[in-house]
Amino acid sequence: MPIDLSPEEFRRLGYRAVDMLADRLAQLHDLPVRRPVPPDLREKILHQPVPEDVTDADTLLTTIQSDILPYPMGNASSRFFAWVNSPPAPLGIIAELLAAGHNASVAGGDHAATYIEHAVLNWLKTLFHLPSDSGGLLCSGGSVANIIALAVMRHVQAGGNMRAHGFNGESAPMVVYTSTQGHSCLQKAIELLGIGNDYLRRIPVNDRYEMDIAALQAQIAADKAAGLRPVCIAASAGTVNTGAIDPLNALADICEQENLWLHVDGAYGGMGILARPELYSGMERADSLAIDPHKWLYMPVECGCVFVRDEAKMRETFSVIPPYLRDDRDMPWFSEYGIQQTRGFKALKLWVVMQQIGIEGYRDLIQRDIDLSKTLQSKIRHHPDFELTAAGELSITCFRYAPAGIAAEQLDELNRELVLIVQREGQAFLTTTILNNQRVLRVCIVNFRTTDADLDILLAALADAGQRLIITRSM
Ligand SMILES: Cc1ncc(COP(=O)(O)O)c(C=O)c1O
């Protein structure tokens, strides 16, 4: 079987693939949000032998149609409320296909894809009020954006010696501060960077789940007294549990006083600045910022983004230019600002969709998600069987199914099982989290398809599953 396709074959198969996706889009409303992969199909996929024989392209597309597309993660649906996974903007899907066809490595150099990435980074810098000469990079997602930012922090706070000596020249262990609500990827970053999880302080939060400033100051003082070296506050602009935004201006002031690096993880909430700029005051003072266009900019995964105010420091942290990469260098290469050498053309989808929707359009879409969350919170307040636990300023709501007569100690288990039933039955998809040692239902709306009616379906599905559970368990 030749690897190459004739232009006619390529066109025919491509049209067929687009038809398959368009059919899914057309059926979206009537399909379950997610349905379990049947056990025999799972076995077949997991144990498929190494393909020694050839299979023709049409058969492969047919298999994708029958075995893969009907079992999505569910985030294209209007009733997907789990984690922070948005549906992809359909034009972004088309841009992704075109980017794959263009197949540039955006390590750098004089070709169109490089300039497109610079263009979208410049747009984003403007939206976040960052200096136009700050360093920036697209990457796979929020986790990697946070790692890159914190690697620059470590390099700077080690006085530039980290690359040569690692931690060998350091006199005192570095300490990084986040809140108890900081994302788990910050732990991964701190571990990977050799700082160590014991030196990532989880500062308590106030009743709005924002970092408690007095507790932070006390911890910094205690760490200094113990001979440790506070180096960074990793703040959240939209925590994953409740969407809380840490008090960024107060944190920036502490960073100035204590010579700490201010990093802001805005992977989920950062883009909320378009709709609610007043909540983000101080974010423009950050030394580094992680955002995640595959969340609230509705990019197809993967698309993360990192900015570092001091471009030179970002380049200093990562730049290695081996002899075979010394040509074609009018501008610094993106590969000098991060981990990857060969880099995909992630910028095309952003460049296309940001123009298609426009910033005013994005502002409306994000505001709509926030408004829908407020509507959900109001429905919960007025529903006898639910209690509201956390109503953040952005688009996350946490609540419990807590009908009268159920003992408090049964609620964790009831809510956990309830979610599993709703997930399985497919009317909606949501997950739980833990807040104040209680299991709560968590609904995150980053979804241009969700409507008020979807919220009613969600609450009805939860209440119905809850009633059935209470009866079968004789609670
Ligand atoms: C606040 C926050 N930070 C970081 C991440 C990690 O981003 P990613 O999953 O794109 O790596 C997430 C993901 O939900 C998040 O909500």
Q: Is the pLDDT of residue 153 over 80?
A: yes
Instruction: Map residue 352 onto helix, strand or coil.
Output: helix
| pLDDT value at residue 323 | 83
| CA–CA gap between residue 48 and residue 44 (Å, rounded) | 6
Q: Is the pLDDT of residue 328 over 80?
A: no
- Provide DSSP, 89-157: PHHHHHHHHHHHHH---TTSSSSHHHHHHHHHHHHHHHHTT--TT-EEEEES-HHHHHHHHHHHHHHHH
| pLDDT value at residue 325 | 76
Mean pLDDT of the chain: 96
Centre of ligand 1 from the C-alpha of residue 288, in Å = 16
Write out pLDDT tens, residues 161-198: 899 999 988 889 999 999 999 999 999 999 999 999 99
| pLDDT value at residue 72 | 96
Give residue 23's identity as a one-letter amino acid code.
D
Write out pLDDT tens, residues 22-61: 999 999 999 999 999 999 999 999 999 999 999 999 999 9
Question: Is 3.30.460.80 the CATH classification of the domain at 104-344?
Answer: no
Centre of ligand 1 from the C-alpha of residue 19, in Å = 32
Which atom of ligand 1 lies closest to the CA of 266?
1
Pocket of ligand 1 (CB under 6 A): 83-84, 141-143, 183, 185, 236, 238-240, 265, 267-268, 292, 304
| pLDDT value at residue 172 | 95
Q: Is the pLDDT of residue 474 over 80?
A: no
Task: Pull the structure tokens for residue 51.
Answer: 């393909």
Task: Give the residue extent of every domain in the chain.
Answer: 7-30+37-70, 104-344, 364-472
Pocket-testing residue among 80, 84, 188, 291, ligand 1, by greatest number of atoms within 8 A of Cβ: 84
| pLDDT value at residue 80 | 98
Identify each DSSP E strand in 319-445 by its residue range: 386-391, 396-401, 431-435, 438-444
DSSP H stretches of helix in 194-343: 213-225, 248-258, 293-296, 311-318
Write out pLDDT tens, residues 89-134: 999 999 999 999 999 999 999 999 999 999 999 999 999 999 999 9
| pLDDT value at residue 290 | 98
Q: How confident is the model at residue 2 (pLDDT cuts 50, 70, 90)?
A: confident
Question: Is 3.40.50.2300 the CATH classification of the domain at 364-472?
Answer: no
Global pTM reads 0.97
| pLDDT value at residue 237 | 98
Q: How confident is the model at residue 313 (pLDDT cuts 50, 70, 90)?
A: very high
| pLDDT, average across residues 357-366 | 98
What percent of the chain has a predicted confidence (pLDDT) above 70? Answer: 100
Q: Is the pLDDT of residue 83 over 80?
A: yes
Q: Is the pLDDT of residue 235 over 90?
A: yes
| pLDDT value at residue 458 | 98
Centre of ligand 1 from the C-alpha of residue 143, in Å = 6
User: Per DSSP, what are the bridge partners of residue 265?
Assistant: 236, 290
Centre of ligand 1 from the C-alpha of residue 438, in Å = 22
Which atom of ligand 1 lies closest to the CA of 146?
4
| pLDDT value at residue 170 | 83
| pLDDT value at residue 352 | 98
